[in-house]
């Protein structure tokens, strides 16, 4: 399997670490050849015979560059790399863009699929804005477009529905899909301020330097749209999701809810109402005996409702980069082993 990486941030580095330290994971049966790594920030590097991933990781860590002294950066842009280079699978791990409606990631993915190349992505943007277009193209070309790590850091939600809920219709879902806001709400319950909660989430590495994508509800809105599009065959994007973040929530509000036997949670929902799919992201009071009330710190959970089963709930306990990277790798394994796709 010849792989092209576009985007080489923390998730890609963790994925590469796992692939270069296979002795730590004895059941990992995957031997890829990475022929290119391309980023917006560091440029790109390519080698038709395969890159030394250990060298790439070492150069980034020690010198903040993709290449060693005797090598040169590629002249190709990431899009040109997707259009030109000889690879089997594009691993697309660039950053989410709400304002650009999932671009340029959607164009990278489209270019690969158009050439008959499978794609693995951890980017929720293309799923939230262009899922049906990209899925149709993948089907027409006879290849795969997989994205288990796009939502809930690799927890097998898409796989569960695709593989284990065949024949059922997903009627709706609800859950906690953003670890940063969940952490901040938990932090305020214990007397901390909103601003302190944001800083602690940043120190823990789960919130960006600009955390408003989380606190204003854009990240969970993108995740909600992605789940609705894939699980419920919706055709919505984050701008269609009723959205209200947590910036107006105070410690007093959190503590008052606790006194009444409830917790405040940022709940993502999608439901079929009168034949139409309605989606929302907003703070709700959750009873203490509800499973969602048990999700603290950076955790996540989703409750899936269908016509043929009682609700199924997946809980993720404090996921980190390892979880997200494994979701990418599991998708690669699924493409390698066509019997499980």
Residues forming the active site: 223
Residue 300 and residue 174 in contact, taking contact as beta carbons nearer than 8 Å:
no
Residues 6+ apart with CB under 8 A from 291: 301, 303, 313, 315
Residue 150 and residue 123 in contact, taking contact as beta carbons nearer than 8 Å:
yes
Tally Cβ neighbours within 10 Å of residue 172: 20
List, as one string, the DSSP characters of 112-151.
HHHTT-EEEE--HHHHHHHHHHHHHHHHHHT--EE-GGGS
**Alpha helices (H) along the chain:** 10-20, 53-63, 78-84, 105-114, 124-141, 157-164, 179-189, 194-203, 212-215, 218-231, 251-259, 321-336
């Amino acid at each position: 399997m010849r792989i092209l990486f576009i985007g080489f941030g923390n998730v890609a580095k963790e994925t590469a670490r796992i692939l270069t330290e296979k002795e730590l994971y004895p059941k990992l049966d995957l031997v890829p050849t990475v022929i290119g790594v391309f980023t917006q920030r560091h440029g790109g590097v390519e080698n038709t015979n395969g890159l030394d991933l250990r060298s790439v990781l070492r150069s980034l860590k020690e010198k903040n560059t993709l290449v060693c002294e005797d090598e040169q950066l590629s002249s190709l842009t990431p899009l040109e790399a997707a259009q030109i280079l000889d690879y089997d699978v594009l691993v697309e791990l660039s950053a989410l863009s709400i304002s650009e409606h999932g671009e340029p990631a959607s164009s990278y993915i489209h270019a690969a699929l158009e050439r008959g190349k499978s794609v693995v992505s951890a980017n929720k943007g293309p799923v939230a804005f262009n899922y049906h277009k990209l899925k149709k193209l993948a089907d027409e070309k006879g290849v795969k477009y997989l994205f288990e790590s796009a939502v809930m850091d690799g927890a097998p939600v898409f796989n569960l529905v695709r593989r284990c809920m065949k024949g059922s219709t997903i009627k709706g879902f609800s859950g906690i899909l953003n670890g940063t806001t969940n952490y901040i709400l938990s932090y305020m319950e214990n007397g901390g301020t909103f601003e302190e909660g944001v800083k602690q989430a940043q120190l823990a590495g789960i919130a960006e330097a600009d955390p408003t994508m989380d606190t204003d509800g854009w990240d969970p809105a993108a995740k909600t749209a992605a789940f609705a599009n894939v699980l419920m065959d919706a055709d919505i994007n984050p701008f269609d999701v009723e959205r209200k973040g947590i910036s107006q929530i105070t410690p007093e509000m959190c503590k008052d809810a606790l006194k009444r036997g409830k917790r405040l949670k940022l709940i993502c929902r999608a439901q079929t109402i009168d034949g139409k799919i309605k989606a929302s992201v907003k703070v709700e009071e959750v009873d203490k005996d509800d499973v969602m009330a048990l999700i603290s710190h950076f955790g996540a959970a989703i409750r899936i409702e269908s016509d043929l089963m009682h609700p199924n709930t997946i809980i993720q306990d404090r996921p980190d980069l390892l979880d997200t990277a494994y979701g990418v790798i599991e998708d690669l394994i699924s493409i390698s082993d066509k019997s499980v796709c």
